[in-house]
Amino acid sequence: MSLDELMRQRREKLAQWRALGIEPYAYRFEPTHHAADLLALGAAVTEAPGETVRVAGRLMAIRGHGKAGFAHLLDGSGRIQLYFRADHLGESFRRYELLDVGDWVGVAGSLFRTRTGEITVRVDAVELLAKALRPLPEKWHGLKDPETRFRQRYADLFMNLEVRETFRRRARLTSAMREFLDARGFLEVETPVLQPLYGGAFARPFVTRHHALDMDLYLRISNELYLKRLIVGGLERVYEFSRDFRNEGMDRSHNPEFTMLEFYQAFADVHEMMDVTEALIAGAVERACGTRQATYQGQILDWTPPWPRISMLDAVSDAVGESVRDLDRARLERVAASRGMAARPGTGAGGLLDELFSVLVQPGLVRPCFVVDYPVELSPLARVKRGHPAVVERFEVFAAGMELSNAFSEQNDPEAQARAFEDQGRRREAGDEEAQQMDHDYVRALEYGMPPTGGVGIGIDRLTMLVCDARSIRDVILFPQLRPEEGRAEIDHEADEETAGRAGRGSAT
RNA sequence: GCGCCGCUAGCUCAAUUGGCAGAGCAACUGACUCUUAAUCAGUAGGUUGAAGGUUCGAUUCCUUCGCGGCGCACCA
């Protein structure tokens, strides 16, 4: 039957409710229990009716038997069976007959156990809370189509209950992190999403337009430089769950907007931040999963500290079978070439090392670990390693082959920071769109003096993937980015018209 | 951006070499007062993602486009 016809039938029932003098979209209902509470209560129930209970939710199945009927009601806690009888409900049995799968109802009744043993509410009274005009997906196979699941996450959430669990886990993970940081004296802060300069990471930004100021603004790719300004201001320990935006490709581990936890601690270096990070993450994983040994795609990831600490120089040297610890560019280029990896022009020794690392080492980093000793040229915001000026005091956390976290002993020498920005500026001029922009105000802040500081960023979406055994970042973002359903051509057309209507500026790219 | 795969009823899926587009569930009608993928009898439901082409005839073959999935590339 066509969707139009199915919806027409439901609208007809809606009219019949109104004909009974009942408003099909109620204003309130007061449940006394959730379904899960009733199942727990019902464990003690035998045959005799117990106290009156009130429960509300969405009808997920109706099984009619003439003058009686069963239904399953789904609420935020789970399912409970309802039993309707004509001789028990009298006149209002008519209400039961007007119910459809998908309707929101509130019922009052008493608990009993059916002949087959299922804890059930014998309904004394039923109220319609909201009529569902649209038919639900099929009861047995459910809603599978990934496109529909992402576009209509509301339907995904009531058809696929494990999806609810994913987002509950995500929330437990972040609240555990907040509690951990709050308990250690960190202050949760909020910094600008709209930034006149973008910095703190290498990425292409989204550009937007402020009409009153007549200027372009960038959606932040990172909040790092703002948090460190707060350290300059003396807040000493700050954190923010930052929605960041990067105008890049999308795949299993990248969504254009994603969530990063960044935290900064005055007087700490990268070594101290490693200890903090592994304690923070291990505790949060334990809270989210109930264990520190979380299964991911068939492998057990053990988050129990301490995690191995691996030097990038050692790891790549081991992988290629000769030492590249001296970061000799000619040697690295030869090693890369021998593995069929063509160095892009302008790539320095550090870039080559990083590429070798990404291909040869990273996929094998299954268990959570720290990678340290990053080449200085890749890290304009970090301090050089004491006694080893070719690398910086930085770590990244990897697990299941995925990068989860990035941290350093923060650069607090304003002149060194200015030189690093200038170096980035030269790369920009050479065509590197992702090179960072000179931020004079940030340098000015450092000129007032920033204490030694350790800073960490953790990719919350990716960590959630690992904790929820999700293969795609789309599974852990409630509304992942998709192209519009109507199709791109139409949208482009509208956008063109709008741009054409504006005075004097094309779109910035 | 490139490659491969997919898009058929509200949902989940079929359809042989190109030959009348089907099933289950959901819906509707009837029977049924402890069912649970309820059961039984019946009914209805389609612009096969869109446009174009080849053909007597296209869900099927070709082209373009849209959306999605996977992989690669880009990307920390």
Residue A419 sits in a domain whose CATH number is: 3.30.930.10
Q: Are residues A126 and A187 in the same domain?
A: no
Give pLDDT, residue A500. 33
In whole angstroms, what is the distance from residue A472 CA to residue A54 CA?
A: 39
Specify if A508 maps to a domain.
Answer: no
Same domain, A251 and A393: yes
Neighbouring C-beta atoms of residue A16, cutoff 10 Å: 15
| Strand-pair partners of A508 | none
Answer yes or no: do A254 and A393 share one domain.
yes
Q: Which of A36, A42, A40 lies closest to A57 in space, CA to CA?
A: A36
End residue of a domain, out of A111, A142, A173? A142
The token duo for A225 is 């430089």
| A115 and A165 assigned to the same domain | no
The residue segments making up the domain with residue A176 are 158-308+367-499
| Residue A331 belongs to a domain | no
Q: How many CB atoms lie within 10 A of CB A287?
A: 18
Which residue type, as a one-letter code, is found at position A106?
Answer: G
- Inter-residue contact A484 to A432 (CB < 8 Å): no
Burial class (CB in 10 A: 0-12, 13-18, 19+), A134: exposed
Is A127 marked within a binding site? Answer: no
DSSP string covering A85-151, please?
A: EHHHHGGGHHHHHT--TT-EEEEEEEEEE-TT--EEEEEEEEEEEE---SPPPPTTT----HHHHHH
Q: Are residues A453 and A385 part of one domain?
A: yes
Report the C-alpha gap between A348 and A464 in whole angstroms.
Answer: 34
Distance between the alpha carbon (CA) of A199 and the C1' atom of B52, Å: 49
Which of A142, A171, A198 is at the close of a domain? A142
CA A500 → CA A163, A214, A486, A492, distances in Å?
43, 17, 22, 12
Q: Show the DSSP H helices in A379-479 as ranges.
A: 414-429, 440-447, 460-468
Residues A275 and A402 in one domain: yes
- The strand pair at A104-113 and A206-210 is best described as unpaired
From first to last of its 509 residues, chain A has per-residue pLDDT tens of 889 999 999 999 999 999 999 999 999 999 999 999 999 998 877 655 668 999 999 999 999 999 999 999 999 999 999 999 999 999 999 999 999 999 999 999 999 999 999 999 999 999 999 999 999 998 889 999 999 999 999 999 999 999 999 999 999 999 999 999 999 999 999 999 999 999 999 888 999 999 999 999 999 999 999 999 999 999 999 999 999 999 988 999 999 999 999 999 999 999 999 999 999 999 999 999 999 999 999 899 999 999 999 999 999 999 999 999 999 988 998 888 888 777 666 678 898 899 999 989 999 999 999 999 999 988 999 999 999 999 999 999 999 999 999 999 999 999 999 999 998 888 888 777 788 889 999 999 999 999 999 999 999 999 999 999 999 999 999 999 999 886 544 434 443 333 333 323 222 22
A81 touches strand B (CB under 7 A): yes
- Do A418 and A274 share a domain, yes or no? yes
Q: Is residue A347 part of a domain?
A: no
Helix/strand/coil for A29: coil
CA dihedral A286, A289, A295, A297 (to 10 degrees): -130
Q: Is the CB of A431 under 7 A from strand B?
A: no
Q: Quick check: is A468 in a domain?
A: yes
What lies within 8 Å, CB to CB, of A210 at 6+ separation is: A194, A216, A217
- Same structural domain for residues A136 and A171? no
Q: A461: Cβ–Cβ under 8 A, 6 or more apart, which residues?
A: A255, A258, A259, A473, A476, A477
- Whether A93 and A207 share a structural domain: no
Q: Which nucleotide is nearest to A355 (CA to C1')?
A: B76
Q: Has residue A337 been placed in a domain?
A: no
Q: Which of A142, A167, A193 finishes a domain?
A: A142
In a domain, A149, yes or no: no
**Beta-ladder partners of A234:** none
**What's the Å distance between residue A153 CA and nucleotide B18 C1'?**
40
Q: How many domains are there within chain A?
A: 2
SS3 A349: helix
Answer whether A377's CB lies under 8 Å from A350's CB. yes
Q: Are residues A187 and A130 in the same domain?
A: no
The reply to whether A278 and A384 lie within a common domain is yes
- pLDDT recorded at residue A167: 97
Residue A403 counted as an annotated binding residue? yes
Q: Which domain CATH number covers A81?
A: 2.40.50.140
- Report yes or no on A83 lying in a domain: yes
Looking at the domain assignment, is residue A362 inside a domain?
Answer: no
E strands, A39-93, are: 52-64, 68-75, 78-85
ipTM over 0.85: yes
Chain B bases closer than 7 A to any CB of the protein: 1, 6, 9-13, 24-28, 31-39, 44-47, 65-76
Rama region for A228: left / alpha / beta (φ>0; ψ in -120 to 50; rest): alpha
Judge whether residue A484 contacts strand B, using its CB and a 7 Å cut-off.
Answer: yes
Cis check for the bond before A49: say yes or no (omega within 30 of 0): no
Are A185 and A136 in a shared domain? no
Say how far A335 CA is from B76 C1', in Å.
Answer: 22
